[in-house]
Structure 1
Amino acid sequence: MGEVRWLSEPEMGAWRSYIVATLRLRQRLHRELAEAHDVSLSDYEVLVCLNATDDNRIRMSELAVMLGSTKSRLSHQIGRMEAEGFVRRVPDPEDRRGVVAELTATGKQLLEDAAPTHVEGVRSHLIDHLSTEEQAVLATAFSRVLDHLTEVGE
C-alpha cells in the first residue's frame, strides 16, 4: 500500500456534505413515512423493489443485492414484514433451494398509500433544491460510483 492520498479541503467538504446530508435525508424520509403510514423507509424500499418486478416477486438473494443489504439482515427484515402481512416467502419454483419474497395485496396497498408521501419528501428535501443540470450530474456521478462498487464486489 502506497502513501496515503489525504483529502484536500474541497474533497473533505464534498465528502462531509454527502455523508451528513444523506444521513439526515434518510432520517427525514423515514420519519415522514413512519408518522404518516407506520412504515419504515427500509421496509418501504423493499415494497418498491418487489413492486418493480413483473410479478411482484424476487429471489431473496437478488433483493439483498438490490437493497445493498446482507442476506441475514434482509431475512430478518422480511420475516418481520411477513408477520405484518406485507410480504410472504415462498419456495423458488425454478430452484428448490432458493426462496422468493412476494408482495401481498396488503403490502401493495401500503405502498400505494405511502408512495405520495415518499415522493413529496424526496422532492421537497432533495430534488427541488437542485437544478436540472445538478440532478443530471448527481445521477451520473453516483451511477459511476455504484458501477465501481458493483465491479469490486463491495
Structure 2
Amino acid sequence: MTMSKIKIEGVDINIIGAMARSIRFLEKMITGSVEKYSLTKPQLDVLFVIKYADGNSLKATEIAEELCVSKANISGLIARLESSNYIQRGVDPEDSRAKVLLLTEKAHVVLNEISPKYFRMTEDILEKFSKEEKEKLLEQLEYIESCMKKGGVHDEK
C-alpha cells in the first residue's frame, strides 16, 4: 500500500521516498502544534535536543551534529531562541572557557505542555506495531541512517 501517486520501479527507492514523505508530514503536524508558542519545528528540535542531552546542556556544535544542520543554520536558530528567551548560555562544566546552551524556565514550561501531546501523537501513529516490530524498525532505520552518514553501505564490524 503506497501513498504516493508516483510509481518508481524498485521497492528500495520507494522506501526512501516514503521515509522522506513521512518526515515532511510529521514536520507539518508539529509545525501546526507549535505555532502558538511562536516556535518553528527546527527550533523545537533544538529545545528537545537540549532537554534530553546528558546534563540538559550542549554546545552549539553538538546540537548541529545531532540535528544534521550546518553551523550557520544552528547559529540562526540559537539566536532566535535566545532572543525569545527559550535558551540561555552557560559555562561548560568540563571547560570553563566554552559555552553551553541551557533551557530557560519558559522553555521548560512550553516543553512540559507540548511533550505529552507529541509523545501521544507518535504512540498513536505507531500503535499498530508490536514492541518487537518497533525495536526492529528502529534498528533498521538506524542502519539506514549510518549508511547515509557514511555515504553508502558499510560493514558494521
Aligning the two structures, in what range does the TM-score lie when normalised by the shorter sequence?
0.7 to 0.9
Aligned pair count? 143
What's the C-alpha RMSD, in Å, of the aligned pairs? 2.3
Q: Percentage identity across aligned positions?
A: 18
d(CA) in 2 for partners of 1:43 and 1:29? 11
Measure, in 1, the Cα distance between the counterparts of 2:132 and 2:92.
43
Once residues 15 and 147 of structure 1 are traced to their aligned partners in structure 2, the CA distance between those partners, rounded to angstroms, is: 14
AA aligned opposite 1:11:
D
Deviation string 1:17-53 (CA, Å, 9 cap, x unpaired) is 2221221122112212325x44322222211211123
Letter in 1 for 2:16: W
Which protein has greater RCO, CA pairs closer than 8 Å, 6+ apart?
A: 1
Q: How does 1:1-154 map to 2 (within 5 A)?
A: 8-35=9-36, 37-90=37-90, 92=92, 94=95, 96=97, 98-124=98-124, 126-151=125-150
Question: Structure 2 vs 1, CA of residues 151 and 103 (structure 1 numbering), >3 Å: closer, same or farther?
Answer: same
- Partner letter of residue 26 of structure 1? E
Unaligned runs of 5+ in 2: 1-7, 152-157
CA 1:108–1:16: 2 relative to 1, 3 Å: same
**TM value normalised by structure 1:** 0.78
Please give the per-residue CA displacement for 1:99-138, whole angstroms capped at 9, x wherever unaligned.
32111111111111111121122223x3124343431222
